[in-house]
Every structure is written in structure tokens, then in C-alpha cells.
């Protein structure tokens, strides 16, 4: 009788260990899958920002052809682009601070491009230039893609962050070094509607 109790205890311990192992294995594999999805989506975000970077030199060269065009505006675009290309984020380092730096540099570039488009309004010949119109349309399309990819990135990051924070997955995430990913935030002032005057 004593021997059968010993086997029952061993069987219970074995079942508990199998359950714990299955929980850890399943949770770990899901965390890896979700983290890889965030990394892949980050690659999509970088691709659309790179597309915008690639369009800017052609846009600047087209505008430069107009001799009396404001040089300061072009210089601001070129400098903002240079600054934005210097801010790189590794998918392993998607924390709030690095994403804030990236977003700030990209925001400065967006502001410089907006100023450029406002100044272009003073140049009817430039506004009618087919090359400029094509580049402007491509840039607008790219800005839309950026918004879409950023939204998708935030959704993936939220899914991952929620998963690693739930109990008992938070224990395994902590043990295996899975950390929370940062989100893109709205630009400053985005909460206020622009004033339109007629």
C-alpha cells in the first residue's frame, strides 16, 4: 500500500510538471510570434518612411529649378531630411525614448515639407509643372501609407503588450526578457481641430 501512494505522488508531480512545461512552451512560442509580428510591422513602417526620404531629393531638385524660389525653405527640407535619416531604431530597441526621437525627427521633416508646399503656392509655373505634380501626388500617397502603417504597428504592439502583461504570461515574459513595445503617439496639437476661415 505504501508503494502505491509513492507512485500516485510521482504521477501527480509528473502531471503538474507537464502542465507547467506546456504552459511555458505555449506562452513562450506565442510571445516570440507576436514579437516577430511587431518587428515585421516595424519594417513596413521604415519602408514607407524610406519611400518618403527617396522622393524628397527629386522634389527638391524640381523646385530648385525655379531660380527665385526661397532657398531657406529648401535648406530646411534638406536639413530635416538629413536629421531624419540619422535616427535609426533597431526592432530590439523599440522603447518609448527611441521611438520619441524617431517620431520627432520625422515630425520635423513633415513640418519642413508642409512649409515647402505652402511656399509653392506662390509659384503658378511650378504648380503646373507635371514632374512636380507627380512628385506631389506620390508624396501625398506616401503620407497616407505612413499613417496606415503606423496604425497597424500600434495594433501589433498593443496585441503583443497585452499578451505579455496577462497573468501568468507576465511571469514567463519577465523570465525570458520580453519587454513592452512603445507606440506611435499623435503629433502635438493633433487634438485641436484646425481653424478654417473663408
Give tens-digit pLDDT for 124-180.
888 788 888 898 899 999 999 999 999 999 999 999 999 999 998 999 999 999 999
pLDDT for 196 equals 34
Query: Which CATH number describes the domain made up of 2-176?
Result: 1.20.1440.20
- On whether the CB atoms of residues 42 and 94 are closer than 8 A, the answer is yes
CA separation for the pair 12, 177 (Å, rounded):
30
List strand residue ranges (DSSP E) for 45-85, in order: none
Count of H helices and E strands in the chain?
6, 0
CA separation for the pair 185, 106 (Å, rounded):
12
Which pTM value belongs to this model? 0.81
109-142 burial: b if 16+ Cβ within 10 Å, else e: bbebbebbeebbeebeebeebeebeebbebbeeb
Amino acid at each position: 500500500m505504501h508503494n502505491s501512494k509513492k507512485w500516485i505522488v510521482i504521477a501527480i508531480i509528473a502531471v503538474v510538471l507537464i502542465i507547467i512545461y506546456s504552459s511555458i512552451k505555449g506562452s513562450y512560442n506565442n510571445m516570440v510570434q507576436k514579437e516577430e509580428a511587431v518587428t515585421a510591422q516595424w519594417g513596413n513602417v521604415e519602408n514607407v518612411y524610406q519611400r518618403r526620404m527617396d522622393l524628397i531629393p527629386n522634389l527638391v531638385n524640381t523646385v530648385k529649378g525655379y531660380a527665385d524660389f526661397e532657398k531657406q525653405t529648401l535648406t530646411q527640407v534638406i536639413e530635416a531630411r538629413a536629421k531624419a535619416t540619422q535616427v535609426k531604431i533597431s526592432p530590439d530597441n523599440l522603447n518609448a525614448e527611441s521611438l520619441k526621437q524617431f517620431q520627432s525627427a520625422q515630425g520635423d521633416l513633415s513640418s519642413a515639407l508642409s512649409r515647402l508646399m505652402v511656399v509653392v503656392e506662390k509659384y503658378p509655373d511650378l504648380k503646373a509643372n507635371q514632374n512636380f505634380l507627380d512628385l506631389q501626388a506620390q508624396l501625398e500617397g506616401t503620407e497616407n501609407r505612413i499613417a496606415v502603417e503606423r496604425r497597424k504597428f500600434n495594433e501589433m504592439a498593443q496585441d503583443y503588450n497585452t499578451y505579455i502583461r496577462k497573468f501568468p504570461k507576465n511571469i514567463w515574459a519577465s523570465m525570458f526578457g520580453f519587454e513592452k513595445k512603445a507606440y506611435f503617439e499623435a503629433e502635438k496639437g493633433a487634438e485641436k481641430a484646425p481653424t478654417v476661415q473663408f
